[in-house]
Amino acid sequence: MFLIAKEEEIKKGLTTDIYFKRTEEILLKKNINKIVWAEFTTQSIPYEFVVFAGLEECAKLLEGKEIDLWAIKEGTIFKGVDINGIPVPVMAIEGNYVNFAIYETPLLGFICQASGITTKATRFRIASRDAILLSFGIRRMHPAISPFIDYFAYMGGCDGVSSIKGAEVINKNPRGTMPHSLIILLGEENAWLSFDEIIDKDVPRIALIDTYGDEKVTAIKAAEILKNLSGVRLDTPSSRRGDFAKIIKEVRWELDIRGYKDVKIFVSGGLDEDTIPLLYEAGARGFGVGTSLSNAKTIDYAMDIVEVEGKPCAKKGKFGGKKKVFRCKNCLELLVLKYD
């Protein structure tokens, strides 16, 4: 058995912190059934903005429970706090606390990681401009969550994803090129030709060109051999890259002067949002992002009870009482007000 929790185990509360289960036990035995309003907010964010995500997963977990779930729209961009510095409630639950106490941990897990991945993908989308952006990060995380990673990478702006299951979830075809293992087993030319011969014609022909030789020489060879070549991919190890942008410029130049201007350059391996603009300027028009996307910084949300039986309350450092969130149609800033 793999070390993963089954869906029914999550719904039973087996992935929660034990003190929530103990709290539930106490409340049940004491017959305490207090109606609360609990809000999900973040006091600090790793970037200048966050994209809220994970709401649908939360709704699935709470389905059938005697509570009301309120939230801003999934995909909403916000800055953590409103124009007055009040933390923005992205989600709120109203109901008998004992009905949802054991779900605080998984609920936070859903939105913290989903928002982190979606936000990072959005930042990659901005950095990549009009280039193709693909999610290649599933190999860095537990395979059980590959659909989760790819779904929220796609939500954030990726054009496609590499995993078969992830692509199924977003109702798209999986995207990818060819691995170094194919080149090593068949040799470069044979690998390219075999791919072209066997793989469905709807799949773009993108040749991997950095396994052994000089990238620009190999790129020219690939363009000459494959008449329907869509692109070439560079995944050169950092130990051999030198000036990666310069390598891309050289490849672009050599392809262009030989009439292969339609052959795009794709790059992958160790990319982040600060490196992509340089590679774009050099001529890259496709980016496969991996570790920095799947291992994106999580958004540090917390759930806090801010009202009990209609009376405002909050632990220190928090803002008590039910709240409403408004967005200005002109400046797009958020405003948090007390709930009347």
pLDDT at 263 over 90: yes
Pairing status of strand 301-308 against strand 311-312: antiparallel
Residue with tokens 């039986």, as numbered in its chain:
309
Average pLDDT, integer, range 216-244 = 87
Distance CA 157, CA 134 (A): 9
With contact defined as beta carbons under 8 Å apart, do 286 and 267 qualify? yes
Tell me the pLDDT tens digit for each residue of 49-77. 999 999 999 999 999 999 999 999 999 99
Distance CA 71, CA 263 (A): 45
φ/ψ of residue 325, rounded to 5: -120, 130
pLDDT value at position 240?
57
Tokens matching residue 166: 């992830």
Instruction: Return mean pLDDT, the chain.
Output: 96
Domains of the chain, CATH where assigned: 7-115+297-338 (3.90.1170.20), 120-294 (3.20.20.70)
Instruction: Tell me the three state secondary structure of residue 202.
Output: coil
Residue with tokens 């729209």, as numbered in its chain:
73
pTM: 0.95
144: left (phi over 0), alpha (psi -120 to 50) or beta: alpha
The candidate with the shortest Cα–Cα distance to 191, out of 173, 172, 210, is 210
pLDDT value at position 340?
78
Distance CA 198, CA 190 (A): 12
Q: Which ranges of 170-303 would DSSP assign to H, the alpha helix?
A: 180-186, 188-198, 215-225, 238-241, 244-257, 276-282, 291-294
DSSP structural state of residue 87: B
pLDDT at 274 over 60: yes
pLDDT value at position 339?
85
Q: Which ranges of the chain would DSSP assign to H, the alpha helix?
A: 7-11, 18-29, 55-62, 104-128, 146-156, 164-169, 180-186, 188-198, 215-225, 238-241, 244-257, 276-282, 291-294
Lowest mean pLDDT among 8-17, 121-130, 228-237, 272-281: 228-237
pLDDT value at position 241?
57
What Rg, from alpha-carbon coordinates, does the chain have? 24
Cα 23 off chain centre by = 33
Tell me the pLDDT tens digit for each residue of 314-340. 999 999 999 999 999 899 899 999 987
Average pLDDT, integer, range 179-201 = 97
pLDDT value at position 237?
58
Tokens matching residue 138: 């599933």
pLDDT value at position 302?
98
